[in-house]
Structure 1
Amino acid sequence: MDDKILQSTRELIDEVGYPALTIDQIAARAGVGKAAIYRRYASKAEMAFAATMYEEQLPPLAGTGSLHGDLLALVRAFHVRMATPAARQLAPA
């Protein structure tokens, strides 16, 4: 059920965009009740974030030799992930 909810959320974000996304649409597409969604996610924003970051892992530590370099590499990797179309739609939320 969790996979259906997240997959439906990703599909609908691609189709209608985050602002037009509703819990009713997700529930209908996933074939679940709204209560099942609200038991898992406190808000539309939380669910959309979970759906777009699906199976995302933090990159391995860069090991640049300095804390500054390591943090910079981590921020750059995060920036690449947040530059995806779905993540850009969610950023204002």
Structure 2
Amino acid sequence: MKIGISGAGGHLGQKALSYLVQQGAQHHLVGISRSPDTISEEVERRFGDYDRPESLQRAYEGLDRLLIIPSAELAPGVRGRQLRAAIDAA
């Protein structure tokens, strides 16, 4: 099974990936972030930006499961728009 963590460059995303790696998950893990170089775990890294929906379609390609972690953006309406884009891409 191929599992993706979208938002993997942030604190929660890093923790989720770390937990799965420590549990010895027998799955292929994919970290998705607008800054994939910041993902510390040794997993497949993909670029995906909530503000660039076309990048999400490519980033989510071939995944069996996906954890979508919202951005830290607090401006009114932004998180909703970003999450809609992520869900539509998935």
Of Structure 1 and Structure 2, which has the larger fraction of its residues in helix?
Answer: 1
Of Structure 1 and Structure 2, which has the larger fraction of its residues in strand?
Answer: 2
| Same structural fold, with TM-score higher than 0.5 when normalized by the shorter chain | no
Larger gyration radius, structure 1 or structure 2: 1
Scaled by the length of structure 2, what TM-score is found? 0.27
